[in-house]
Amino acid sequence: MTKDTEKQIGKRPGWFRRLGMGLSRTSRRLVDGISSVFTGRKPLNVTTLQEIEDALIAADLGPQLAARLVAELERYKFNKDVDSIEVRSFLANQITKILEPLAQPLPELKSGINCWLVVGVNGSGKTTTIGKLAAQLRGDKKKVFIAAGDTFRAAAIEQLAIWGERAQVPVIKPAGSNADAAGFAFEALTKAKAQERDILLIDTAGRLHNKADLMAELQKIVRVLKKVEPQAPHQTLLVLDATIGQNAMNQVETFQQIIPLTGLIVTKLDGSAKGGVVVALAEKFHLPIYAVGVGEAIEDLQPFSAQDFASALMGLDEAADT
Ligand SMILES: Nc1nc2c(ncn2[C@@H]2O[C@H](COP(=O)(O)OP(=O)(O)O)[C@@H](O)[C@H]2O)c(=O)[nH]1
Ligand SMILES: [Mg+2]
């Protein structure tokens, strides 16, 4: 992160606080669930462990991960007296360990043209995320181009044009509506390369209700990009909406069948009651989480911090920044 970006972020309320506020819908449920089991100190036995497991599942951590975490808790203190804080601190530590290797900064740009393909279902936050990414990269003095590759909807192209203005980054638009997305991606990368841009961000359509079409389209985009630049796309980022909880797991699986993914961006963590899914995603797919969306504004794309997230999830505010 450059000094400029740091300064920008520094002006706003700390991201932990904002994430904490946003995640409060998820964490309140979890904390209430665990605290209602341990009013004061109580033995960690089969019954109380089951209740903790239920609370973890209710927060969208998923049944497998919930069972694993509870098994670790059992190994740690079975039949011993514990309180809510101790249980939540232990779980936060375990969750931090799962998330830590995957909480990564945005990938470094290589010399020459970099091409990042952004995929995800409609409404997941692709276009918004591209706008935020473009602003951040431009803040880091990169020469950025955006390709409005969701050629299916005129409104999508217009929405991206507005983001381009906000981010002060040029947007390449297809010539007509319903243009061939692959042909357009080819043109956009050729142009970005000719103009010696550092990075091209490509938006895509997310019509998952027709998986065969989407598959054919995305695979064709990748094929033609490689004709321009054999290493392209350098990143294929899946954008996931945190408010859909465990359904995000299916989306990763589906997209992985279509196209090799290199990383995730999780949006709408502000306001999700199902934020626990991030931990389930990390543990199951081992894909880096390059950034998270914590609001609709241009600066609301933040690096993902494992420890801050785990503490916020478990309602442990000691680590809160100001
Ligand atoms: N609260 C919140 N809203 C978001 C975030 N990211 C995107 N959105 C909103 O989600 C909606 C869909 O986003 P859009 O970028 O159009 O999704 P796309 O269809 O995948 O391109 C828009 O109203 C965005 O403002 C986020 O991190 N937090
Ligand atoms: Mg869009």
**pLDDT tens-place values along the chain, 322 residues long:** 444 444 444 444 566 666 766 788 888 889 999 999 988 899 999 999 999 999 999 999 999 999 999 999 999 999 999 999 999 999 999 999 999 999 999 999 999 999 999 999 999 999 999 999 999 999 999 999 999 998 877 888 899 999 999 999 999 999 876 779 999 999 999 999 999 999 999 999 988 778 888 889 999 999 999 999 999 999 999 999 999 999 999 999 999 999 999 999 999 998 888 999 999 999 999 999 999 999 999 999 999 999 999 999 999 975 444 3
Kindly give the interhelix angle for 277-285 and 306-313, rounded to the nearest 10 degrees. Answer: 140
172 - beta bridge partners? Answer: 147
CA 157 to ligand 2 center in whole angstroms: 8
Q: Which atom of ligand 1 is nearest to the CA of 124?
A: 20
The contacts of residue 196 (CB under 8 Å, 6+ apart) are 113, 143
The residue whose CA has the least distance to atom 14 of ligand 1 is 125
CATH number belonging to domain 15-102: 1.20.120.140
Model pLDDT, residue 95: 97
Model pLDDT, residue 175: 82
Site to substitute for ligand 1 among 130, 151, 267, most atoms within 8 A of C-beta: 267
Site to substitute for ligand 1 among 296, 298, 301, 304, most atoms within 8 A of C-beta: 296
241 by DSSP, 3-state: which?
Answer: strand
CA 302 to ligand 1 center in whole angstroms: 15
Q: How far apart are the first and last CA of the chain?
A: 20
181 by DSSP, 3-state: which?
Answer: helix
Listed in order, the ranges of the chain carrying CATH 1.20.120.140 are 15-102
CA 126 to ligand 1 center in whole angstroms: 7
The residue whose CA has the least distance to atom 17 of ligand 1 is 125
The one-letter amino acid code at 287 reads: L
Residue 277 in contact with residue 249, Cβ under 8 Å? Answer: yes
Listed in order, the ranges of the chain carrying CATH 3.40.50.300 are 114-304
Model pLDDT, residue 256: 95
Kindly give the interhelix angle for 15-22 and 306-313, rounded to the nearest 10 degrees. Answer: 40
Q: Which residues line ligand 1 (CB under 6 A)?
A: 120, 122-128, 206, 267-268, 270-271, 293-296, 300
CA 125 to ligand 1 center in whole angstroms: 4
CA 150 to ligand 2 center in whole angstroms: 7
Model pLDDT, residue 16: 63
The one-letter amino acid code at 225 reads: L
Model pLDDT, residue 5: 44
Q: What fold is seen in the domain 114-304?
A: Rossmann fold (3.40.50)
Q: Positive or negative, the Cα torsion across 102, 106, 111, 115?
A: positive
Model pLDDT, residue 320: 44
